[in-house]
Structure 1
Amino acid sequence: MISKSTIDRVFEASRVEEVIGDFVQLKKSGSNYKGLSPFSDERSPSFMVSPVKQIWKDFSSGKGGNAVAFLMEHEHFTYPEAIKYLAKKYNIEIEETQQTNEEKQKADVRESLYLVSEFASTYFQKILHKTDIGKAVGLSYFKERGFTEDTIKKFNLGYAPDEWQAFTNEALKKGYRLEFLEQTGLTIVKGEKQFDRFKGRVMFPIQSMSGRVLGFGGRILGNDKKAAKYLNSPESDLYHKSKVLYGIFHAKQSIAKEDNCYLVEGYTDVIQFHQRGIKNVVSSSGTALTPEQIRLINRLTKNITVLFDGDAAGLRASLRGIDLILEQGMNVKVCTFPEGDDPDSFAKNNTLSEITTYLDDKSQDFIQFKASLLAQESKNDPIKKAETIRDIVNSIAKIPDRIKTEIYIQECARIMDISEAVLFSTLAQINKKENAEVQKQQSKETKTFQVIKNDPSVTQKVDVQYELERKIIQILLLYGNKTEDFEDLILKENDANELVLEPVKHEARVFEKIYLDLQEDEMQFSNETFKALYYTIINTFNQNPDAVIETIINTVPPDLAAEISTILMEDERYALSDWERKNIFPKAKQNTIAQLVNETILSLRCYLIDLKVREFQHKTLQNLADSNKEVLEEVKDYSGLKMLLSRKLNRVL
């Protein structure tokens, strides 16, 4: 268990914009930051971060909370894992109380898989650096590749002994369970026998964006033609190869800073580039590029430069993957190296200045590259040329930006020596099916709308009490510790024995005013979430009237923290539309806090009175006629009270 003092220091030191900035490219938007949602596929930002409130809200998925909640949602950390991650980031020493055996057994499967993977990474590094066979075989291989000691340690490179059970036996000896060794794929279990999957291979740990070990890539060093040159961990609860990019942990900050990501094929390509000083580089680890991997990059930058080696044999297959990048609305460039070179060898044999100059000079827009490449393949064959043109236009059709589309059509026409009119016609044909589908869907939605419009039974009613209770929580969260001048209208009897409203002014904290008003009428929250939040907020302010919102959000369970962030960031959602640029200036709420409090409380009172009156009406119908008089008197009293409250609200009934 992590001590409370450590947790408090972590919350005090951590900044939500810094934590989230390691995973999402954030751009300043007024007093807040905005970016693309890391939880859904989108092209317009709906993700907001508030440095003032120290919370975030993702309007596309509905998720929200503080820095810890983000790590739990994005990295699937447990609460202790998130605290440990932040402690490491901000150099805070963790104080832990001793865990009991029962607490250890309660650790979930996912955490156990992480622990096994972390142990394996440490073990392979130890073998590489501390054993004679590791130094002679593994370390010498890495040094032959040109990797320095610092680079080898930075990427946690290791070596698995060329023995059938060396790793498995060591893991079992240290108390790691066989079932987790098998689930991570580190150990192959066949009946009563167990085998090390990666025996005799140099090891490349594959890390998540936060740096946790998800799986491994292993390269064989022998000449066994039956064995695969590279072997990856199998799919598991941790490792999904289609959702992982090798090197993303070390590259994320540089990608966001440079606003560009270099995409290569292999582990050594990434490491060699990084060692040379080009750190914004990741690899798909030999797998075909997937939409999930592209979205991982899209959170950090809109620009990708794909680096190919000089061997054109696999280029055509790779082009299909790049179409996926275009579909995501990203900007793609391509750079090929001289024949016989790949990113690894080119980086190894050239200086940083030479590499950057080459990349700047030789990188070309993807559509230009594809048109040039396919044109060379088909220049003497009219049929192939026609297929090539359609292939290129298919790629152009995937680009959502219409201006870019037209420019690429013009470029394609120039390279392929064909009229723009024909290309635009081909583009129209390709888009025809898609447009038809869109129109069909719109027609369907229109019919659905008409049915709802004409059928009162399906009209969704607003839950007035829910909205008013939510508004009270919002006021407490935004303004609870502020002091305001309130004007209450008190019922008094005048000389003519008539009840009149007299104004009485007094100064109070917002939370005190709300608490006393609700107590006076014995009003209770009907929504359990709001009730829990209400008492948490009131208790916090009673203990410390100057408490700030971060104190509250950091002490409640994740579900309440998410609800708090949703309420607090509701107004920020409209900042995404940038209303001021359209000459629309919303009125600031803080200018009329006292009025907002009074109106909300009075509106809730009026609503509850209406409920009470309807209850009496129902009783009147159920009871006998001789008992109706008493009920009607109560209805009359409540109606009179509502009339007075409505006068306070300046309403006409």
Structure 2
Amino acid sequence: MISKLTIDKVYEAARIEEVIGDFVQLKKSGSNFKGLSPFTDERTPSFMVSPVKQIWKDFSSGKGGNVVAFLMEHEHFTYPEAIKYLAKKYNIEIEETEQTNEEKEKANERESLYLVSEYAQQYFQETLWDSEQGKAIGLSYFKERGFTEETIKKFKLGYSPDQWDAFTNAATEKGYQLEYLEKSGLTIVKENKQFDRFKGRVMFPIHSMSGRVLGFGGRILATDKKAAKYLNSPESDIYHKSKILYGIFHAKQAVSKEDNCYLVEGYTDVIQFHQAGIENVVASSGTALTPEQIRLINRLTKNITVLFDGDAAGLRASLRGVDLILEQGMNVKVCTFPEGEDPDSFAAKNDYEDIVLYLQENSKDFIQFKASLLVEESKNDPVKKAGTIRDIVNSIAKIPDRIQQEIYVQECSRIMDISEDVLFNTLAQSGKKELQEAGKAYKKQQKAFEVVRNEQKDIEKVDHLHQLERKIIELLLLYGNKAEDFQDLILKNDDKGELVLEPETYSARVFEKIYLDLQQDEVELSNPVFRKIYSELITRLNEDENFAIEGYVNEADADIAGEITSILMDEERYTLHDWGRKNIYVKEKDKNVSPLVSETILHLRCHLIEKRVEALQQQTFEKKDDNQEILEEIMNYHLLKKLLSEKLKRVVN
């Protein structure tokens, strides 16, 4: 179990913008940071991070919380794992206890798969460095590829012994269950027999963006025609090959810093580039590029440079990936290597400066690349040339930005020697066709939801009580300890014996004002989460003059922390920034706290009076005989509401 002192050190050291910045490209927005949601597919940033409050909020999915909540949500860490991850990042010593077999059994399935994968990585590494077979076969192979010991350790490369069940036996002896060894794909079980999937292969661990082991790629070294050269882990609860990029963990910071990502095909391409000093590189691991993989890069940069070897057939197939990148609204360049070279071999033969220079000089805009590739195929054939132009226009049509589309049309016109008007007409036809198809899909969807729409005729009413209670929590969170001058209203009889409200000014802290007013009216918040937050806030504010929201969020239960984050970041979302530069001066909200608190409480009182009057009116319907007392009470409430409304400057019917 991790001590509270260690947890406090972690929270104190962790900077939320730094941690989330490893996973999402963040840009300054006033006092906050903004970025694309890592949880949904969006093109307009709605993900906000507040360094001041050390919280984040994703408005597209509704998720939010502190730095630990982000890691738990994004990386599926448990709470202790998130703390350990942060401790490692900020070089904080942390006490760890070895998991017993009983604890391993209690871990949920997903966590069990992670534990098994972590153990497998460790086992394969130790086998590579410590066993005779590992050093003679695995280590020798990596060194022949030109990998240094530092690089081999950096990527945690390993070796699986050339024995049927060496790994499986070692894992089960350590207490890992065969069920999870099979589900992770590390062990194959057939008719009461089990054997290692990666027997006799060098191992490439595949990491998540945070460095967790998701699966493996294994390359066979023996000349076995029946066995696949490369073998990947099968799909599991933690490994989805279409949603992960090899090397993303090691590349994420460089990608964000360089604002560009090099995309290659294989494991060794990534490793050789890293060793050469170019770290902003990832691989699709031999699979066809997917939208999920592109969105992973999109969170770090808008720019992708796809690196191909000189194989013409491979180039043609890879053009589909380029179109997918364009659809995501990203900027794409393409660079090919000389015939017979691929990123791996080219990086191994050249030093850093030469590689960088080659990439700069040979990276082409996708239009230039596609045109040069297709024009060569359609040389002296007008029909093929027309098809080539149509192919290029179809790619341009996938770009969401209209200005970029026009620029690319002009470029295509110049390269292909064809008028812009013809290209724009073809583009319009392509767009019209897509629009028609989208229209058909929309109509089909509307029919599917027609029944649901008919059932939802009643417009959902605004819950005013919920909003008012939420506002009270917001005021406590933002200004709870702030001292203000309040003007209270005391109900008195005037000279004529009529009830009037007389103002009385006094000083108090915001939480004291709210607490005393609600106590006086004997009001208890109806929402259970708000009620819990209110109770805890009043206690903490009363006991600690230096109460800080950050500490409260870090210690709060998940449901409370989520609600607090929502309240605070909703406030941040609509903050106006840098208007003074345009000579527009907006009154700061914290200069207006006293009337804001008073008005909120008055609104709550009016709302509760309305509800009480409704209840009394219902009693008059149910009670057939004398209603005089109830009617007098209703009249008194109406009078009180009128007085409160006058203070709020509201018209009452």
Counterparts of 1:319 and 1:376, CA distance in 2:
15
Counterparts of 1:425 and 1:133, CA distance in 2:
65
Structure 1 residue 384, shift from structure 2 partner: 1.9
Structure 2 counterpart of 1:650:
649
Structure 2 counterpart of 1:524:
524
* Amino acid corresponding to residue 204 of structure 2 in structure 1: F
Structure 1 counterpart of 2:414:
414
Q: In structure 1, the residue corresponding to 2:574 is in which secondary structure?
A: helix
* Amino acid corresponding to residue 294 of structure 1 in structure 2: I
Q: In structure 1, the residue corresponding to 2:501 is in which secondary structure?
A: strand
Larger mean Cα displacement after TM superposition, 589-598 or 289-298: 589-598
Structure 2 counterpart of 1:244:
244
Counterparts of 2:413 and 2:264, CA distance in 1:
30
Structure 1 residue 98, shift from structure 2 partner: 8.0
Structure 1 counterpart of 2:534:
534
Structure 2 counterpart of 1:50:
50
* Amino acid corresponding to residue 651 of structure 1 in structure 2: R
Counterparts of 2:585 and 2:316, CA distance in 1:
53
Q: In structure 1, the residue corresponding to 2:564 is in which secondary structure?
A: helix
Assess, with a 3 A threshold, how the Cα gap between structure 1 residues 575 and 384 changes in structure 2: closer, same or farther. Answer: farther
* Amino acid corresponding to residue 304 of structure 2 in structure 1: I
Contact 1:609-1:638 within 8 A present in 2 as well: yes
| TM-score when normalising by structure 1 | 0.95
Contact 2:36-2:43 within 8 A present in 1 as well: yes
Structure 2 counterpart of 1:637:
636
Q: Per-residue displacement from partner, 1:28-48 (whole Å, max 9, x unpaired)?
A: 111001111111111111111
Assess, with a 3 A threshold, how the Cα gap between structure 1 residues 122 and 538 changes in structure 2: closer, same or farther. Answer: same
Assess, with a 3 A threshold, how the Cα gap between structure 1 residues 283 and 443 changes in structure 2: closer, same or farther. Answer: closer
Q: In structure 1, the residue corresponding to 2:414 is in which secondary structure?
A: helix
Assess, with a 3 A threshold, how the Cα gap between structure 1 residues 358 and 38 changes in structure 2: closer, same or farther. Answer: same
Structure 1 residue 455, shift from structure 2 partner: 13
Counterparts of 1:93 and 1:349, CA distance in 2:
41
**5 Å matches for 1:59-458?**
59-96=59-96, 104-436=104-436, 458=458
Counterparts of 1:102 and 1:520, CA distance in 2:
54
Structure 1 residue 648, shift from structure 2 partner: 2.8
Structure 1 residue 502, shift from structure 2 partner: 2.5
* Amino acid corresponding to residue 631 of structure 2 in structure 1: L
Larger mean Cα displacement after TM superposition, 381-390 or 83-92: 381-390
Larger mean Cα displacement after TM superposition, 306-315 or 90-99: 90-99
Structure 1 residue 96, shift from structure 2 partner: 5.0
Counterparts of 2:595 and 2:468, CA distance in 1:
15
* Amino acid corresponding to residue 640 of structure 1 in structure 2: L
* Structure 2 residue 649 is the aligned partner of structure 1 residue 625: no
Assess, with a 3 A threshold, how the Cα gap between structure 1 residues 101 and 166 changes in structure 2: closer, same or farther. Answer: closer
Contact 1:410-1:420 within 8 A present in 2 as well: yes
Counterparts of 1:117 and 1:580, CA distance in 2:
54
Structure 1 residue 139, shift from structure 2 partner: 0.5
Assess, with a 3 A threshold, how the Cα gap between structure 1 residues 183 and 546 changes in structure 2: closer, same or farther. Answer: same
| TM-score when normalising by structure 2 | 0.95
Contact 1:3-1:96 within 8 A present in 2 as well: no
Structure 1 residue 442, shift from structure 2 partner: 9.1
Q: Per-residue displacement from partner, 1:284-335 (whole Å, max 9, x unpaired)?
A: 0000000000000000000000000122221111100110000011000000
* Structure 2 residue 611 is the aligned partner of structure 1 residue 608: no
* Amino acid corresponding to residue 636 of structure 2 in structure 1: D
The Cα RMSD (Å) is 2.6
Q: In structure 2, the residue corresponding to 1:368 is in which secondary structure?
A: helix
Assess, with a 3 A threshold, how the Cα gap between structure 1 residues 500 and 444 changes in structure 2: closer, same or farther. Answer: farther
Structure 1 residue 559, shift from structure 2 partner: 2.2
Assess, with a 3 A threshold, how the Cα gap between structure 1 residues 38 and 457 changes in structure 2: closer, same or farther. Answer: closer
Counterparts of 1:155 and 1:97, CA distance in 2:
26
Structure 1 residue 616, shift from structure 2 partner: 0.7
Assess, with a 3 A threshold, how the Cα gap between structure 1 residues 446 and 272 changes in structure 2: closer, same or farther. Answer: closer
* Amino acid corresponding to residue 70 of structure 1 in structure 2: F
Counterparts of 2:124 and 2:98, CA distance in 1:
28
Larger mean Cα displacement after TM superposition, 639-648 or 218-227: 639-648
Q: In structure 2, the residue corresponding to 1:188 is in which secondary structure?
A: strand
Structure 2 counterpart of 1:560:
560
Q: Per-residue displacement from partner, 1:352-405 (whole Å, max 9, x unpaired)?
A: 000000000000101110011000011132222222111111101001122221
Percent of aligned pairs sharing the same letter: 72
Counterparts of 1:377 and 1:441, CA distance in 2:
36
Q: In structure 2, the residue corresponding to 1:458 is in which secondary structure?
A: coil
Counterparts of 1:583 and 1:379, CA distance in 2:
61
Q: In structure 2, the residue corresponding to 1:262 is in which secondary structure?
A: strand
Counterparts of 1:580 and 1:294, CA distance in 2:
39
Larger mean Cα displacement after TM superposition, 4-13 or 591-600: 4-13
Structure 1 residue 131, shift from structure 2 partner: 1.1
Counterparts of 2:306 and 2:454, CA distance in 1:
54
Structure 1 residue 457, shift from structure 2 partner: 5.9
Counterparts of 1:382 and 1:147, CA distance in 2:
49
| Unaligned segments of structure 2, at least 5 residues | none
Q: In structure 2, the residue corresponding to 1:570 is in which secondary structure?
A: helix
| Unaligned segments of structure 1, at least 5 residues | none
Assess, with a 3 A threshold, how the Cα gap between structure 1 residues 31 and 127 changes in structure 2: closer, same or farther. Answer: same
Q: In structure 1, the residue corresponding to 2:555 is in which secondary structure?
A: coil
Contact 1:201-1:218 within 8 A present in 2 as well: yes
Counterparts of 1:463 and 1:372, CA distance in 2:
62
Counterparts of 2:206 and 2:397, CA distance in 1:
35
Assess, with a 3 A threshold, how the Cα gap between structure 1 residues 184 and 634 changes in structure 2: closer, same or farther. Answer: same
Contact 2:185-2:234 within 8 A present in 1 as well: yes
Larger mean Cα displacement after TM superposition, 421-430 or 283-292: 421-430
* Amino acid corresponding to residue 25 of structure 1 in structure 2: Q
Counterparts of 2:576 and 2:647, CA distance in 1:
36
Assess, with a 3 A threshold, how the Cα gap between structure 1 residues 534 and 257 changes in structure 2: closer, same or farther. Answer: same
Equivalenced residues, count: 650
Counterparts of 1:165 and 1:594, CA distance in 2:
73
**5 Å matches for 1:36-47?**
36-47=36-47
Assess, with a 3 A threshold, how the Cα gap between structure 1 residues 441 and 588 changes in structure 2: closer, same or farther. Answer: farther
* Amino acid corresponding to residue 297 of structure 1 in structure 2: I
Counterparts of 2:144 and 2:576, CA distance in 1:
52
Structure 1 counterpart of 2:469:
469
Structure 1 residue 422, shift from structure 2 partner: 1.7
Assess, with a 3 A threshold, how the Cα gap between structure 1 residues 580 and 222 changes in structure 2: closer, same or farther. Answer: farther
Assess, with a 3 A threshold, how the Cα gap between structure 1 residues 441 and 590 changes in structure 2: closer, same or farther. Answer: farther
Contact 2:40-2:60 within 8 A present in 1 as well: yes
* Amino acid corresponding to residue 313 of structure 1 in structure 2: A
Counterparts of 1:453 and 1:195, CA distance in 2:
55
Structure 1 counterpart of 2:23:
23
Assess, with a 3 A threshold, how the Cα gap between structure 1 residues 429 and 494 changes in structure 2: closer, same or farther. Answer: closer
